[in-house]
């Protein structure tokens, strides 16, 4: 081995030894400077906590009830007229009752009724047809009505009915007297099928207008203290609803001709008066000169009040004061007695809101009469009876159809078979009111000391009873 190789080996060995020695020294110095390790004291045993009673979970707050769905039903009424006022009150009664009983159950849930009303002004003597049409449109376009009830004056109802197929909305006519729209249902069902008539039309009433004067005539023959009621005058307001009854010119109708030729009445005086008439002195003078014993007076507005007052105060000597009777929209409920300050005494009206006889078979009629009178301090007129029933037959038909879709609702309404406050309700195939069974419209009522007393019934049409002298 060479000297050079030995020297290299020695050098490497020396270096390794030095590194080891230095490392050991550093470690020793570091260990001396570190603080001594003190063992951690053993913690005392921790007592197990007593389990606290489990608190009952607080109940989640009840979410507020969802707002009830609303079914908007529109009312098309003359609000300044007693017929419209009473109809609105009766509709509110029915809606409140239906809502309190749970509402109307349709396919997509339960609905509460929301009533909206527009004033048609239709009993204004000027007969503002355009205002009635505008009110009808507002109910649909602005108020969101899905169904409409209302109607009093025929002129307005005829105009409104022409909108039904365009809007596809059901309209229940509660009070107009003419069957014009019923005839349109027969002639043009697809366009007029949405119309239903919940009142006695003129064609239904005509037989009563023959049978009643005949009963009066028979009565006068056996009661000589009464005027001779074989002689008759006819006075009618010049409005559409009287056309089919008395004709144009007046007297040119099948009804008047039948009275004269078939039933033997002497009708020496017939006339029309304007819906704005306030002075009937000339009409009364002509009736007196004709020596009539009964006056058929057809009215729907304020002229009826003026006529009755003047008839009562008129000097009829040397004749006997004639009996006044007729279809008078306002004559048959307590408002009329008040407006005439009692001068309505002995006048006879149809339809009449009489407190029905004890043998009347439908208990709910008297119950409605009593509830309405107690609530509003007035006897209900026929518009109130009709719209009250209209609300309930709508409820039944809506639940049967499951929707207010007009075409489906029509089918359900056509199946109506309901005992209402006016009597049994069914519709003819032309959507008029079926009259085969008793109705409150069977009765004529006479004012006697502030009360309407029944004096004639279609159930016993040949006689009058309970009658007092004019």
Backbone angles phi, psi at 145, to 5 degrees: -65, 140
For 243-257, what is the mean pLDDT? 94
The sign of the CA dihedral 355, 358, 361, 367 is: positive
Rg (CA), the chain: 44
In the predicted model, what is the mean pLDDT of the chain? Answer: 88
Instruction: Give percent above pLDDT 70 in the chain.
Output: 85
CB-based contact 425:441 (threshold 8 Å): no
Strand partners, 420: 423
Question: Does the pLDDT value for residue 59 go beyond 90?
Answer: no
Question: Does the pLDDT value for residue 90 go beyond 60?
Answer: yes
CB-based contact 377:390 (threshold 8 Å): no
Query: What is the model's pLDDT at position 3?
Result: 42
For 371-394, what is the mean pLDDT? 95
Q: How many CA atoms lie within 13 A of 177 on its CB side?
A: 21
At 354, the pLDDT band (50, 70, 90 cuts) reads confident
Question: Does the pLDDT value for residue 52 go beyond 80?
Answer: no
For 170-198, what is the mean pLDDT? 95
At 205, the pLDDT band (50, 70, 90 cuts) reads confident
Q: Is 325 helix (H, G, I), strand (E, B) or coil?
A: strand
For 270-297, what is the mean pLDDT? 98
For 21-35, what is the mean pLDDT? 45
Residue 428, Cβ neighbours under 10 Å: how many? Answer: 16
Strand partners, 116: 74
- CA-to-CA distance for 290 and 271, rounded, in angstroms? 13
Query: What is the model's pLDDT at position 177?
Result: 85
Q: Six-digit token pair at 71?
A: 């079914």
Query: What is the model's pLDDT at position 244?
Result: 87
For 283-293, what is the mean pLDDT? 98
Query: What is the model's pLDDT at position 329?
Result: 81
Question: Does the pLDDT value for residue 365 go beyond 80?
Answer: yes
At 333, the pLDDT band (50, 70, 90 cuts) reads confident
CB-based contact 142:118 (threshold 8 Å): no
Whether the pTM exceeds 0.85: the reply is no
Could you report the per-residue pLDDT of 117-132, keeping only the tens digit for each?
Answer: 999 999 999 999 999 9
CB burial of residue 203 (10 Å; 0-12, 13-18, 19+): middle
Query: What is the model's pLDDT at position 444?
Result: 94
Query: What is the model's pLDDT at position 35?
Result: 45
Burial 296-322 (b: 16+ CB within 10 A, else e): bbbbbbbbbbbbbbbbbebeeeebbbb
Question: Does the pLDDT value for residue 49 go beyond 60?
Answer: no
Lowest mean pLDDT of 40-44, 278-282, 289-293, 391-395, name the range.
Answer: 40-44
Question: Does the pLDDT value for residue 347 go beyond 80?
Answer: yes
Contacts of 198 (CB under 8 A, 6+ apart): 172, 173, 174, 386, 389, 390, 393, 425, 433
Query: What is the model's pLDDT at position 358?
Result: 72
In degrees, rounded to 5, the angle at the alpha carbon of residue 77 between the alpha carbons of residues 72 and 78 is 150
Q: Six-digit token pair at 414?
A: 């056509």
């Amino acid at each position: 081995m060479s000297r050079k190789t030995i020297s290299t080996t020695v050098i490497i060995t020396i270096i390794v030894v030095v590194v080891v020695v230095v490392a050991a020294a550093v470690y020793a110095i570091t260990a001396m400077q570190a603080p001594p390790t003190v063992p951690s004291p053993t913690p005392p045993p921790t007592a197990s906590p007593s389990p606290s009673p489990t608190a009952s979970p607080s109940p989640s707050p009840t979410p507020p009830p969802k707002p009830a769905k609303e079914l908007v039903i529109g009312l098309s009424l003359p609000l300044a007229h007693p017929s419209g006022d009473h109809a609105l009150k009766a509709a509110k009664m029915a809606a409140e009752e239906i809502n309190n009983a749970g509402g109307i159950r349709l396919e997509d849930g339960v609905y509460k009724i929301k009533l909206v009303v527009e004033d048609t002004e239709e009993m204004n003597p000027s007969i503002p047809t355009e205002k009635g049409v505008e009110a009808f449109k507002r109910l649909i376009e602005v108020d969101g009505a899905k169904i409409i009830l209302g109607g009093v004056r025929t002129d307005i109802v005829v105009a409104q009915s022409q909108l039904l197929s365009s809007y596809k909305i059901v309209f229940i006519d509660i009070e107009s007297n003419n069957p014009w729209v019923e005839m349109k249902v027969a002639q043009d069902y697809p366009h007029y099928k949405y119309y239903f008539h919940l009142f006695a039309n003129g064609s239904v009433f005509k037989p009563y207008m023959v049978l009643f004067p005949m009963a009066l005539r028979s009565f006068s023959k056996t009661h000589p203290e009464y005027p001779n009621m074989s002689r008759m005058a006819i006075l009618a307001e010049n409005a559409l609803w009287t056309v089919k009854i008395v004709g144009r010119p007046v007297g040119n109708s099948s009804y008047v001709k039948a009275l004269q030729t078939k039933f033997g009445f002497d009708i020496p005086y017939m006339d029309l008066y304007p819906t704005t008439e306030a002075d009937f002195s000339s009409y009364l003078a002509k009736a007196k000169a004709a020596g009539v014993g009964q006056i058929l007076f057809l009215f729907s507005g304020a002229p009826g009040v003026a006529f009755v007052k003047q008839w009562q105060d008129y000097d009829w000597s040397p004749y006997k004061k004639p009996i006044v009777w007729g279809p008078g929209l306002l004559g048959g409920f307590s408002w009329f007695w008040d407006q005439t300050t009692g001068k309505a005494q002995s006048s006879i009206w149809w339809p009449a809101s009489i407190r029905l006889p004890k043998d009347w078979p439908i208990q709910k009629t008297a119950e409605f009469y009593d509830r309405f009178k107690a609530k509003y301090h007035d006897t209900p007129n026929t518009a109130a009876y009709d719209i009250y029933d209209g609300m309930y037959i709508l409820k039944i038909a809506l639940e049967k159809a499951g929707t207010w879709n007009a075409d489906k609702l029509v089918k359900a309404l056509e199946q109506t078979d309901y005992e209402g406050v006016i009597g049994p309700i069914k519709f003819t195939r032309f959507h008029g009111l079926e009259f085969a069974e008793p109705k409150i419209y069977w009765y004529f009522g006479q004012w006697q000391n502030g009360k309407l007393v029944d004096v004639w019934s279609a159930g016993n049409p040949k006689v009058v009873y309970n009658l007092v002298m004019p």
